[in-house]
Amino acid sequence: KQIEKDVGKLDIVVHTLANAPEVTKPLLETSRNGYLAAMSSSAYSFVSLVKHFGPIMNDQGSMLNLSYIASTRAIPGYGGGMSSAKAALESDTRTLAWEAGRKWNIRINCISPGPLRSRAAKAIGMIDHMIRYSKANAPLKDKDLLAEEIAEISAFLLSNKASCLTGNVIFADNGLHAMGLAMDSKSLDGYLE
């Protein structure tokens, strides 16, 4: 209510909150409280955001959240319930696209970026390894993924140029999500030469 009073109706809302107090623990060692905390702050927070901001969004407004490939692939070391929370967030993106689209005529989308050296990524503790792996195995080989690229995709999805897009998870990872084989695997020595 205060935001509506201060600025009026909104065109865009971006959710970038994610937290897991036990992110460095394997899932099998994650406590119930740690798991629920990850789900609450990383997935339910978006549901709550849509619930509270949907009524003050302009017609054809847009909301966006950020996920990670651990929602659909096993990423050893990305623990504490974060992979589960990202899977829930992506599922909620689709359901909220339907519900918020019908209720307020707003769009809901998700971006799943590849590994970036962000402050949040440093908390996981293995970001440099993840970046090296991505550079070696993504179709766009040896290409740095830039925060500016994620910002440009975000700007597009939030703009009227993407007016027909809702309920999508857009992978922005130099194509890494499409791979089913690690090209730098020692098991491929002699085969790819």
Instruction: In whole angstroms, give the CA distance from residue 187 to residue 108.
Output: 41
Max CA distance (Å), the chain:
66
In the residue annotation, 68 being an active-site residue is answered as yes
Query: Which position among 35, 78, 133, 191 bears the catalytic label?
Result: 78
Rg (CA), the chain: 18
Query: Which position among 35, 44, 68, 191 bears the catalytic label?
Result: 68
In the residue annotation, 78 being an active-site residue is answered as yes
Please list, residue by residue across 108-129, b when 16 or more beta carbons sit within 10 angstroms of its beta carbon and e when fewer do.
Answer: bbbbbbbbbeeeebeebebbee
Q: Which strands sit side by side in the sheet containing 169-172, from one edge to the other?
A: 10-15, 57-66, 107-113, 169-172
Q: Is the Cβ–Cβ distance between 115 and 77 less than 8 Å?
A: no
So which residues are the catalytic ones? 68, 78
